[in-house]
Structure 1
Amino acid sequence: MLSLEEVESRVDVWGEVFHLWGKDEHGHEILWNLTIGGTQLQFIPKVMIMTWLTMILVMLFAVIATRNLDMRRPRGAQNILEMMFEGIRNLVNQNMDIQKGASIIGVVVTFFIFILFSNLLGLVPTLSSPTANPNTTFALSLTTFALMYYFGIKYKGAGYFKHFFQPYVFFLPINLIEEFSKPVTLAFRLFGNIYGGEVMLAVLLGLFGVWVHFLGGFIASVVWLAFSIFVGCIQAFIFTMLSIVYISIATSEH
């Protein structure tokens, strides 16, 4: 068994191998700086590139799945896409009025596919999951938050804001805390699970000494890889499901 120092050094080595192109010669994450007027913006190129790669993969999957549609005998990618669509549509219809739910199905299906591809992308050596960065998960959660208000105001008008004062007016601070905690918990739940999975995979690679170089810590890595795939799918489902629930609550009449 390796000592703690040896494990940490091997994790650092494998981290450099897997994410070399995202770090400078000192091991610090590369940042792009952009100044607009008096405002300086910073971008993480690795996250941006991985996000664009994910979007390209999602578009390719959609094109392949819908290129030769067969309504009688769906197969291959079309079958997978239909299963995703039907499953999420059933969830929407179970939680919302069918007419109201029809307007969000396209959004939540896209959420699920994008997050699923993002989660699984980090399991490929040298690549990383966009959802392993809190900027991505917060962007997704804020999109859900914006949709809550958009559909809430669309279907209930100014009456949507009455729930902040229920059951009593002095509950306003508690209701506000609950409201603004939704995007925070959505973002950190997804980020924590995906980032933790990538760190754990690197730790496992560091635990197996010389066998890592021959077999890559084969057994433990494969087991954790399978578990990471499961977690990636579950987290995509949970984020999508909670988005549906939050929008459903915002549009419900009671």
Structure 2
Amino acid sequence: MLSLHEVEQQLNFWGWPANGSWELYLGNTHLTFNPKTLIMTWITMFLVILFGIAATRGMSLRKPKGAQNILEMIYEFIRGLVNDNMDPKKGAALMSIVVTYFIFILFSNLIGLVPTLSSPTADYNTTMGLALCTFVIIYIFGIRYKGLGYFKHYIQPFIPFLPIVIIEDFAKPITLTFRLYGNIYGGEVLIAVLLGLLGGWAHVFGGFIASVVWLAFSIFVGFIQAFIFTMLSIAYVGQAVADHH
């Protein structure tokens, strides 16, 4: 039986830095980058672009097929969620954002199932970036449709509730961050634990054996977490633009 650290070393097919980061100094500024997360994010972005091209090239209204069918199903499903949470006219401006959310997060979650690769969403920096985007979008939409009146919810119905409302607002990106990160990272750790139980077979095919054992459940979790993040983002924006916040 191998330890988690030993399994990670055996699976380091691409030779990621032992300390897990690149160090960059710009004058007195020290920057740290996680090369694995960066490269996996770029790969995911490339795959999303390919999917978008495949789904929109040669689109047909009469006989949609292949990737176009998948994209239309995703779009219609998410549009239903948006329309259930806010006025369709207000939600129209949000559609492109949340559809992109769902596709990117789904691809990010599932790419970690490919042997030797990992999910960008298994790094809390990625999930925090997505959560902060949602946090900013909430205020953009709130101010867009309510003006400065959006901030009335901080003092109504009672000013003494102000600390609670502030905590509630700042808790949104935190919960979004760690819910997605925890589930995806936990799945990858469990795969490593399964590989550790295999002992000397851990590195075979880049961990393919454990990936297959855990494949079905991981796909389910990947879809569910992409849905939850997208759904909560829609709900939060819906609250911001509602007539009664």
What TM-score, normalized to structure 2?
0.93
> How far apart in 2 are the matches of 1:224 and 1:203?
11
CA contact (8 A) 1:204 1:217 kept: no
1:206-231 Cα offsets, whole Å, 9 max, x none, are 1134565779684x643411101110
1:16 to 4, 9, 26: 9
Q: Which residue of structure 1 lines up, in the alignment, with residue 223 of structure 2?
A: 233
Q: 1:213 to 1:17 in 2, by over 3 A?
A: closer
**What are the ranges of 5 or more consecutive residues in structure 1 without an aligned counterpart?**
1-5
Pairing 1:83-122 to 2, within 5 Å after superposition: 83-122=73-112
1:57 to 38, 47, 53: 47
**Structure 1 residue 58 displacement after superposition:** 0.2
1:221-246 Cα offsets, whole Å, 9 max, x none, are 43411101110110000000000000
Q: 1:222 to 1:233 in 2, by over 3 A?
A: same
**Structure 1 residue 38 displacement after superposition:** 3.4
Q: Which residue of structure 2 lines up, in the alignment, with residue 3 of structure 1?
A: none
CA contact (8 A) 1:120 1:129 kept: yes
Q: 1:33 to 1:116 in 2, by over 3 A?
A: same
Compare 88-97 and 205-214 and name the one that shifted more: 205-214
Q: Which residue of structure 2 lines up, in the alignment, with residue 33 of structure 1?
A: 24
Aligned residue pairs: how many? 243
> How far apart in 2 are the matches of 1:72 and 1:115?
30
Q: 1:38 to 1:30 in 2, by over 3 A?
A: closer
Q: 1:61 to 1:214 in 2, by over 3 A?
A: closer
Q: Which residue of structure 1 lines up, in the alignment, with residue 159 of structure 2?
A: 169
CA contact (8 A) 1:22 1:29 kept: no
**Structure 1 residue 18 displacement after superposition:** 2.5
- Kindly provide the amino acid, as one letter, of the partner of residue 30 in structure 1: S
- Kindly provide the amino acid, as one letter, of the partner of residue 18 in structure 1: L
Over the residues paired in the alignment, what is the CA RMSD in angstroms?
A: 1.9
**Structure 1 residue 126 displacement after superposition:** 1.3
- Kindly provide the amino acid, as one letter, of the partner of residue 13 in structure 1: E
CA contact (8 A) 2:20 2:35 kept: no
- Kindly provide the amino acid, as one letter, of the partner of residue 112 in structure 1: F
Structure with more relative contact order (C-alpha pairs < 8 Å, separation 6 or more) = 2
2:170 to 177, 180, 203: 180
**Structure 1 residue 165 displacement after superposition:** 1.6
> How far apart in 2 are the matches of 1:136 and 1:217?
25
Q: Which residue of structure 2 lines up, in the alignment, with residue 7 of structure 1?
A: 2
Secondary structure at 2:64 match in 1: coil
Q: 1:213 to 1:140 in 2, by over 3 A?
A: closer
1:192-219 Cα offsets, whole Å, 9 max, x none, are 000000010111111134565779684x
Q: Which residue of structure 2 lines up, in the alignment, with residue 152 of structure 1?
A: 142
Secondary structure at 1:171 match in 2: helix
2:202 corresponds to 1:207: no
1:23-64 Cα offsets, whole Å, 9 max, x none, are 33xx321323141x5332221111111111111000000001
CA contact (8 A) 2:121 2:181 kept: yes
What TM-score, normalized to structure 1?
0.90
> How far apart in 2 are the matches of 1:156 and 1:22?
51
- Kindly provide the amino acid, as one letter, of the partner of residue 91 in structure 2: G
1:127-148 Cα offsets, whole Å, 9 max, x none, are 1111110110000000000000
